[in-house]
Chains A and B, each alone.
Chain A
Amino acid sequence: MDGYRPEDGLMKPDKEVGIVGYGAYVPRYRLPATAVSQMWTDGEGGTPIKEKAVNGLDEDVITMSVEAARNTLLRAQINPQHIRAVWIGSESHPYAVKPSSTIVAEAIGAVPNTLGADWEFACKAGTEAMQAAMGVVGSGMARYAMSIGMDTAQGRPGDALEYTAAAGGAAVLIGPAAESVAIINGSYSYVTDTPDFWRRAHATYPSHGDRFTGEPAYFKHVTTAARAMMEAMGTTSADYDWAVFHQPNAKFPQRAAQELGFSAEQIAPGLLSPRIGNTYSGSSIIGLTAILDVAQPGDRILMVSYGSGSGSDAFDLTVTERLLEVRDRAPSTETYIARRTEIDYATYTRFREKIKMN
């Protein structure tokens, strides 16, 4: 067999592609982590974040994706009839069978000449949908493809994940590099069978491997993908102005960044988990949208997602002049984060449909 190096796994389409538009969505409700600890641990012990975003009674992955997609189109200013794929990565699609994507595609005017499918790979389904979009645009099959990472994540009452499992996410429209606000220089994926977290069919809440979710799962995949990406691109952490890593809590992405040689300043704008929690499939992409809200032309960005089960997708991006033109055409990610209404644990149980009505 030929010799094979990890960096040979670099994915780069024939035609240069990039992000033509982007849009975020975070619901307005916030559950402080202290409300969870007061309920289950008598307020003892630390909390992994300050608070998490919670969807309202009339919100789900479909409604949230519609708003993120509309924000993306406000920035891109393209005819939605040119979109050839609407792909939504999530682990909380409202239907087990019936695509979320067709409803979103209909709502944004992208039907009927479009692909539409739902993706699932724990927290990295959205970034894998981005890579697929890079493929169909980069091959010339499509001019534009919409990729969305969005979740209303489930957390078992009293479980460690209840502090962080949040609602929110973001959409990106992938298209030609010439129209892009950020060119995607390449992507790299690192995937293994690592059972750190799962939810069986018909189960209401996920199960996880406690400490196993750290070293062999999150850190191994995120840091390996990031290192291979940089090796393939001939870069080091110093070459990037900004970086965003999947954010299951506040600590993991900060430690991963430190291990990879990134400073606190480089990850600051994209580090949203302390204020909105872990938005699962949306986590790394919404971090990217927050970075795009402050980045300048020429800035280089590293994004690395993580999905349990397990895998990481890394992206190397360069911001273009066009970002400054489109940025203010839609609400910033911070606009949604600042729109904050605190709720108590009782309201949370109602919003998350934990109260049995019959």
Chain B
Amino acid sequence: MEVSRHWRLNEQRYALIGETCDSCGTKLFPPRDVCLECEAPAKELYTFTGVGEIYSYTTVYEAPAGFAEYAPYTVALVKLEEGPVVTAQLTDVAKADLHIGMKVEMVTRKLRTDGSEGMIIYGYKFRPQLEMA
């Protein structure tokens, strides 16, 4: 596993830090430095609220290498409230509750581990929004 490749993504993976466009206000995730709407430079950092809804989803039973220990798991396209759609695993969700439009929120979880001696990679997943007791 390349340590540096993961380390470079710490900010966006841990805290959903993307960018905002000075010209038109579009929010970008992942950060691209150029606005997808107006093509102006967009380098100002923006921390997303992490709140969104499920746009679509599928459940993975035959997981790729590195993810087998978590299978079966559900991957979703999550439409963030600021606009961008991100691909992420869902967590803490019962299969029977899953539906398009479900309100979800970002949490930081283990994404994978590099064997028993390698790095533990952390990043964003989404779970159903907590219902306050």
Contact = CB atoms under 8 A, between A and B. Distances in A.
Interface of A: 28, 56-60, 62-63, 66-67, 94-95, 103, 106-109, 331-332, 334-339, 341, 357
Given A58-B91, A59-B110, A63-B108, A338 B70 contact: no
Given A56-B91, A107-B108, 13 more contacts: A57-B69, A57-B70, A58-B89, A59-B110, A63-B110, A66-B14, A66-B108, A95-B120, A103-B14, A338-B133, A339-B130, A341-B94, A357-B69
A335 B70 contact: no
Contacts of B11: 106
Name the residue among B15, B70, B108 with the largest chain A CB count within 10 angstroms.
B108
Interface residues of B, number: 23
B126 to A, nearest CB: 12
A56 B92 contact: yes
B131 interface: yes
A60 B110 contact: yes
**What 5 A-B pairs are tightest by C-beta distance, nearest first?**
A107-B14, A58-B109, A335-B133, A338-B133, A334-B133
18 contacts: A57-B70, A58-B70, A58-B89, A58-B125, A62-B122, A63-B108, A63-B109, A66-B14, A66-B108, A67-B107, A67-B108, A95-B120, A107-B122, A109-B47, A331-B130, A331-B132, A335-B131, A339-B130
A106 B14 contact: yes
B125 A335 contact: no
A313 B122 CA distance: 33
B109 to A, nearest CB: 4
A329 to B, nearest CB: 11
Name the residue among A58, A63, A106, A332 with the largest chain B CB count within 10 angstroms.
A58
Contacts of A66: 14, 108
A177 to B, nearest CB: 29
Contacts of A341: 94
A336 B92 CA distance: 12
B110 A107 contact: no
Contacts of B59: none
Contacts of B130: 331, 335-336, 339
B23 interface: no
Interface string B114-133: 00000010100100001111
B132 A335 contact: yes
Nearest to B17: A109
